[in-house]
Amino acid sequence: MKRLLPLIVLVAIVACKGRQRTPTGPVPVETTEAPRPEWVRSRPVSSAYYIGIGLASKARPDVMETAKKNALNDLASEISVTVEGNSLLYTLDRKTRFDESFTSTIRTRTSEQIEGFELMDTWENGTEYWTYYRLSRSEHARLKAERKQRAIANATDLFTRARTSIGGGDLRSAMDSDLRALIAMKSYWGENDVVEIDGKQVPLVNEVYGHLQQITSSVRIAVLPERCVLEYGNHFRREMLITATHVMDGRTRELPQLPLRIAYPGSTGPVKEMKSTDTEGRTRSTVQRVEFGKAGMEMIVEPDPAALVSSELDKDLVKLLLAGLTIPATRTPIDVRMPRVSMKSQENNLGQPVGDAGLSAVLREELTGRGFRFVEKDADADVMLTLNCSTRAGGESSGFYTTYLDVTYVFRDRKTQEVVHEGTRQGVKGVQLNFEKAGLDAYKKAAQDLRKDLVPAILDAMQ
């Protein structure tokens, strides 16, 4: 019995272990994250190198490329742009806004122009990917100097072409060459770029920009006649002759194919028109359908420099450059002279004259307010107005009486006797306590219609 006891205990232990659940799946393996290198924990500082550190999340599919891009942007931000005292950015009148736009634009592109950088190290864990680049300050300065000299040579050549073009009166080519020269130097707008031109030491970009300013401000726009008179005799239409010339170095040259912006206030809103001069530097524009009764109207003609610019040039940079230029505009006064009117009227209410209660007084007031001039003699008039108004009794109901008013009017040209405009209003209804008062009520209602509809129709027919 004593020998069997240890055996029973051993069997029981084995049976218990047999009832325990066996683990399923892979057994977890403990991993240890590589320690963060010093350049991840603390940004390196070097007097010999520009440093760029980039971080990207591993949740991105392009994690390595993103980390590199961020590192190069970081490196580019260390390459500061110092605005020199004689640079374009310093001398521009609108420097603050221009400088902000310039800095943003150039900084965005700096990372794309960086050369000679080297990858120093990378580090990653389960969620992050870090990369470390550096660029030799001396190597960067050398490469930049080489690029700058090439840019200066290119810009100088373009500037020479611009001066040759404007000497021959070719404004379009001159502007194009100046703008290309400035854009060729865009990375150095804030730097010292003194070169020798015509035996003088001058800041190149400033010189080019000054030339661009000079050729645009030297444009002259002439408009004939000097006052645009719109009147009944010309049907409120006037053709204007526009001439564009360029005055520079004591010489005046026509400007062919010059885009122009033309604007004046129209009856339905501002009128805007684009024209280009012909081979002799001329074009024509017709002013018409202006707003009657508006004082201080002008026809404005100015060059459109943006239309001279090639579409292949950088639009953002061109916009910045053109914004600071002086663009001359010519303003021509527009005088509207309304016609002289002689009026004959016959207005009755149930066969009796209505006097001042008629429509002739309202019509005279409305047209005078729009600039028409009333004269007594037909011989002094441009147009003759005939107005006939009469009422007729309607019926009576529950003590209220109805009267109807019929109106006819005709505007005729005094010289030709042709009808300029005519119209009628039949059966304008008036209701009152007797027929006579109902007739006066009809006249009041017709006066409202006249102010609202008839006068605008007359004005429209005059144009």
Domains of the chain: 42-137 (3.10.28.20), 219-337 (2.60.40), 340-462 (3.40.50.10610)
**Tens digits of per-residue pLDDT, 209-263?**
999 999 999 999 999 999 999 998 898 999 999 999 999 888 899 999 999 999 9
pLDDT at 207 over 50: yes
27 band by pLDDT with thresholds 50, 70 and 90: very low
Residue 99: what pLDDT?
57
Percent of the chain with pLDDT over 70: 86
161 band by pLDDT with thresholds 50, 70 and 90: very high
Report the mean per-residue pLDDT for the chain.
86
376 band by pLDDT with thresholds 50, 70 and 90: very high
pLDDT at 353 over 60: yes
pLDDT at 104 over 80: no
Residue 303: what pLDDT?
94
Residue 85: what pLDDT?
63
Residue 19: what pLDDT?
44
**Tens digits of per-residue pLDDT, 382-414?**
999 999 999 999 999 999 999 999 999 999 999
pLDDT at 14 over 50: no
Instruction: State the Cα–Cα distance between residues 245 and 256, nearest whole angstrom.
Output: 9
Residue 324: what pLDDT?
81
pLDDT at 124 over 90: yes
**Tens digits of per-residue pLDDT, 268-321?**
899 999 999 999 999 999 999 998 878 889 999 999 988 989 889 988 888 888
